[in-house]
Amino acid sequence: MSEDQKETLPPSSGDGGRSGRDAASSEAVAEGVDAKRTASPSAGGEPGTKPQEAAPKREPAAKREAPPKKDAPPKEPDPREAPARALLEEVVAEVKTVFPDAVEGAELQKFRPVLLIRREYWRDVLHLLKTGERLRFRYLECMAGVDYPQGGYIEVVALLTRMPEATMIEAKTRTPRDAAELPSAVPVFPGANWEEREIFDLLGVHFEGHPDLRRIMMPDDWRGHPLRKDYSPFE
């Protein structure tokens, strides 16, 4: 896996065409690339120090963008691309007016706008996305956690939907693996309750302000968090 990644990194960081398309994401891309070049390998140090937080961020994004070169030749801009990009820009702009430095990155994933939120702002941004006058993503469709040991962080993803139109955006945030902590989204979305308990149980992310953070799938006295990549049941 890491070999693959290294091979695909250089071409993807030079994707000039993409970064020019919109102001919001080009900023994020530029920041990410710079950070990657200068980053020290010690990722996921103290929370709050910006360069370190930005460092691991770029890695999977680059890895994700690499393959399109395979299916690039027959690709005209998909009709879904433009509206998705417009929505992404709109949402990013809207979030930035309230929390200027909350958005760490923005991209499209299969025509779904993805916002990377700085974790201190996680709950506030979710609240804004839910209640903001022009946002109104009030339905939490899905929440998931993903472990990225190479980056040293765990990503928590929330898929939010604007209700009658069914447009979906993805908000995600990152927390260092060794001190995984996030503000809980339950005060904003009551439906996040069990999803967060599951993420806590299987990935070991502590959600501050969660009303009832207990293990949900595994027995209460279980050791370790099974969905972490380095989990071994024989400890």
Partner 1 sequence: MAEIRTEEMLMNVGPQHPSTHGVLRLVVKLDGETIVDVDPVVGYLHRGTEKLAEDLQYTQIIPYTDRMDYLAAMLNNYALVHAVEEAMELQIPERAEYLRVIVMELNRIASHLLFIGAYLLDLGAMSPFLYVFQDRERILQLFNEICGARITYNYMRIGGVKWDAPPGWIEKVQQFVPHMRESIKMLHDLITGNEIFLNRVKGIGAYDAETAIAYSLSGINLRCTGYKWDLRRNRPYSIYDRFDFEIPVGKNGDCFDRYILHLEEMEQSLRIVEQACGQIPEGPVMGKVPKILRPPAGEYYSGIEGARGELGVYFVSDGKDKPYRLKFRRPSFVNLQLLPSLLKGQNMANLIAILGAVDIVLGEVDC
User: How far from 98 is each of 103, 115, 121, 192, CA to CA, in Å?
Assistant: 11, 15, 11, 23
The distance of closest approach from Cβ of residue 172 to partner 1 in the complex, given in angstroms and rounded to an integer, is 9
Residue among 24, 35, 39, 66 that touches partner 1 (CB under 8 A)? 66
Distance CA 223, CA 169 (A): 34
The distance of closest approach from Cβ of residue 142 to partner 1 in the complex, given in angstroms and rounded to an integer, is 4
Distance CA 88, CA 108 (A): 8
* Site track 149-188 with partner 1 (rule: CB under 8 A), x = hit: --------x-x---xx-x-x-x------------------
Q: Examine residue 53 and tell whether it contacts partner 1 (CB under 8 A).
A: no
Name which of 46 and 214 has its Cβ closer to partner 1. Answer: 214
Q: Exposed, middle or buried, 173 (CB in 10 Å: 0-12/13-18/19+)? A: buried
Yes or no: say if 39 and 52 are a contact pair by the CB < 8 Å rule.
Answer: yes
Q: Examine residue 195 and tell whether it contacts partner 1 (CB under 8 A).
A: yes
Residues 77-106 that bind partner 1 (CB under 8 A): none
The first and second tokens of residue 71, run together, are: 């299916």
* Rg of the chain taking only CA atoms, in angstroms: 18
Q: Please provide residue 31's backbone torsions phi and psi, each rounded to the nearest 5 degrees.
A: -60, -45
Q: Examine residue 135 and tell whether it contacts partner 1 (CB under 8 A).
A: no
Residue among 174, 184, 193, 200 that touches partner 1 (CB under 8 A)? 193
Which residues here bind partner 1, judged by CB under 8 A? 1, 4-5, 63-68, 70-71, 109-110, 112, 114, 138-142, 144, 146-147, 157, 159, 163-164, 166, 168, 170, 189-195, 198, 202, 215-219, 226-227
